[in-house]
Amino acid sequence: MQLQRQFSGQIVTLDTQNLIGGGGEGRIYPVLQDPSLVAKIYHKPTDEDADKLTVMFSHPPDAPIAAGHSAIAWPVDLLHTINSKQQIIGFLMPRVFRAEPIHIFYNPRNRREQKPLFNYRYLHRTARNLVAAVNALHKSGYAVGDINESNMLVTDTALVTLVDTDSFQVRDPYTLEIYRCPVGKPEFTPPELQGKSFREIDRLPEHDLFGVAVLIFQVLMEGTHPFAGVYQGRGEPPSLEARIQAGHFPYSKKRVPYRPTPLAPDFKILHPSIQQLFIDCFEKGHKYPTERPDTKIWLQVLREAEDNLIICQKNHQHLYSNHLKSCPWCDRTKKLKGRDPFPSREAVRNQKHLQPAQPKQRKLLSLRQQKTTNTPRKPAPPKPIIINRKMGQYQPLLTPILTKTKPPSLPIIPLPGGGNGIAGIAKDAIWGSLWGVLCAAAVAGLVLGIIKGSLAVFGGTIVGILWGGFFALAWQYIIPVGMSGSSLGLTGAFWGGFIAVAISGSIYGISNRLESFGQAVLFGGFLGTIWGGIWSAFKPPLTLPVPGRVWGRRGLFLGAIWGAFLGTVIGAILAGVFVFQESMKENSNSWLELLSIFISSMIPAIGVGAMGGIIGGAVLGPILGAPTLPLSNKLSGIRGAFLGGIWGCFLGVIIGVILGGILPQFGSIDLVIIMRIDEDFTIILSTIFGAGLGAIAGCFSGAAWGGMGKW
């Protein structure tokens, strides 16, 4: 089966002959071109699935990874058919190697047969890594929803991967639309959601925290469910769901009609801090869900408990909390008739851990009874299960290193600024102000060169182009970035010319003491500061999702974005048509005058077109539908420039309209006079002029930032 990646455009071939797994929603296949990826293909793909996956791709969580192991099998690209419909039918995600469902590790029998050397320290680290993955999701605004033992995979080194991520609850941070998790297992569902339809519920972090606590309890208590117990009341024992809903925690300090099951480990083997967290979650959290311990507290306490584990002198595979006076696992081995929960390496080597439990000692019979009683035959020992792996395979425990999981993208040239919170916005605002000064100086320099006929500006531009092209080609041999020589040459020539225009224009304006030039540069710096701050804080939703149309609130949003861009393009075309008509007259102006007329007419034409486009798109988008943006974030190059130009135009128009209607009230802007707009500078004209200037600056800035991967 051949499909196309939605965002990279690559054609991929799926190995449909080797099915990895499947279920009610879809099937999972290997990818022939890349063995590190797998593809999930839906049986019945829907538009809602495509929208949800696009939001997920656009906003990956900061997932913890270690040694190339992803903690969350997040979508790295969408897959669509290569026919004319181009329907989204699945997605790509990282392939998880050498991992098993978590119940293989916490279930005593499964662990003894398949992972006999996975000791109590590894179980603590498994719980920690599980909580770390859920913590990353919660920090990014997601919820797991369907927490259960099947969508948590664990490796032999206690690394955890959350799978089935397309069932998670996803919230679009821009349209605020919530894609709910419609499924869930009752035994991991908090009491406040028992018996309710998940399709009608917005999951909260505290809902996940209940399921996380249940899993941690099972991991550290030999697979025992926290609400499993022996019923002490009358009648039939209530179901597990009813016990959860009633809050009857058998290990509770309160009086409940249950006692722990006889074969369950003693609750006191847990570190005291862990015991308290379970009580807080299942007792206090029963009535007040927000009182449940969050993932940060769990991480702290689990680390403390792991650090306080000590080794048994009789069996070095036995580890227990240092608050205990003796090894509980030695006692449990006796209770289980010789079946050791954590067999020694020697026992595993000799396959003693696979032997059946020791039978009970029978009383000696009298000689007469021995003669008359048939001696029972000994049952044949079961065939040993061969573990196809070498001893010592278990590596040292790996602690996940927090780093951002990013989908594959084109090479990105790093830029200053960026970050999170107020500091990140401040850095981007500073970078934006520098960018605005540079842009304004370049634009003013070009205008001065065209109108004043300054050879200094044009000379500086030519020198800058040659200088930029030379260093760009030299850079190719010093620091390769995966671009061709011609691409680097053109890119360098563009930036060299751009910087040279700014420098030469600045020199010309300062040397001739042009007040208008200084005002233009100050205006550019102010506009750039606003631009950088908004860009950093807003982080445009660059994927609004797949081919097709959307209506309603999203249609309004997308209609305004596309309207601004298309209005800008139409305004520029109309200005070009006007200049072309001027050039066809008998007394045609010189090319410098025509260029000046083009600039003078283009700004108001673009301003009118952009504002009209926003209004028209916002009106028609919800009714007739608006095209989606088929590109994604984390792009660079031509695609990044195109998408950045669209978003930059939209943001630039908004900023320009606001500033164009406010700044003229406090003083004149002589740059308008330079552009030969001789009409009175009214609020309407200034707003139009601001929208046009903002659209141009936004398109240019957005394309430049998008082309370099600054998203």
Decide if 34 is catalytic.
no
Q: What is the pLDDT of residue 249?
A: 95
Q: Which residues contact 504 (CB under 8 A, 6 or more apart)?
A: 445, 456, 457, 459, 460, 461, 464
Q: Which residues contact 425 (CB under 8 A, 6 or more apart)?
A: 533, 536, 537
Whole-angstrom CA distances from 607 to 301, 354, 519, 524, 644 are 59, 79, 21, 17, 19
d(CA 344, CA 112): 11
CATH code, residues 98-368? 1.10.510.10
pTM over 0.85: no
Percent of the chain with pLDDT over 70: 58
Q: What is the pLDDT of residue 154?
A: 95
To 10 degrees, the CA torsion angle through 452, 456, 457, 461?
Answer: 150
Average pLDDT over residues 441-454: 58
d(CA 125, CA 121): 6
Q: Which amino acid, one-letter code, is at 432?
A: G
60-93 confidence digits (pLDDT tens): 888 876 667 889 999 999 999 887 677 889 999 9
More confident site: 244 or 387: 244
Q: Dump the DSSP string for 648-700.
A: HHHHHHHHHHHHHHHGGGT---THHHHTT--S---HHHHHHHHHHHHHHHHHH
**How do beta strands 77-80 and 160-162 pair?**
unpaired
Residue 709 has pLDDT above 70, yes or no: no
321-332 confidence digits (pLDDT tens): 999 999 999 999
Average pLDDT over residues 500-506: 65
Residue 466 has pLDDT above 80, yes or no: no
Most confident stretch, 108-122, 356-370, 385-399, 476-490: 108-122
Q: Which residues contact 261 (CB under 8 A, 6 or more apart)?
A: 224, 228, 229, 230
**Buried b vs exposed e over 32-70: b needs ≥16 C-beta within 10 Å?**
eeeeebbbbbbeebeeebbbbbbbbbbbbbbbbbbeebb
Domain boundaries of the chain, sorted by first residue: 1-97, 98-368, 540-707
Average pLDDT over residues 594-613: 71
160-195 confidence digits (pLDDT tens): 999 999 999 999 887 788 999 999 999 999 999 999
From the candidates 49, 77, 146, 164, give the one annotated as an active-site residue.
Answer: 146
d(CA 179, CA 412): 31
More confident site: 108 or 9: 108
Beta strands in 341-494 (DSSP E): 401-402
Tokens of 328: 């509980």
Q: Which of 288, 281, 231, 294 is nearest to 261 (CA)?
A: 231
Tokens of 223: 């697979």
Q: What is the pLDDT of residue 406?
A: 37
Q: Where is average pLDDT lowest: 338-342, 490-494, 639-643?
A: 490-494
Between helix 552-583 and helix 637-662 the angle, nearest 10°, is 90
- Are 522 and 672 within 8 A, CB to CB? no
330-356 confidence digits (pLDDT tens): 999 999 888 899 999 998 888 887 777
Residue 526 has pLDDT above 90, yes or no: no
Q: Where is average pLDDT lowest: 144-148, 613-617, 707-711?
A: 707-711
Q: What is the pLDDT of residue 614?
A: 72
d(CA 174, CA 152): 30
User: Looking only at Cα atoms, what is the longest distance across the chain?
Assistant: 137
1-97 is classed in which CATH architecture? Answer: 2-Layer Sandwich (3.30)
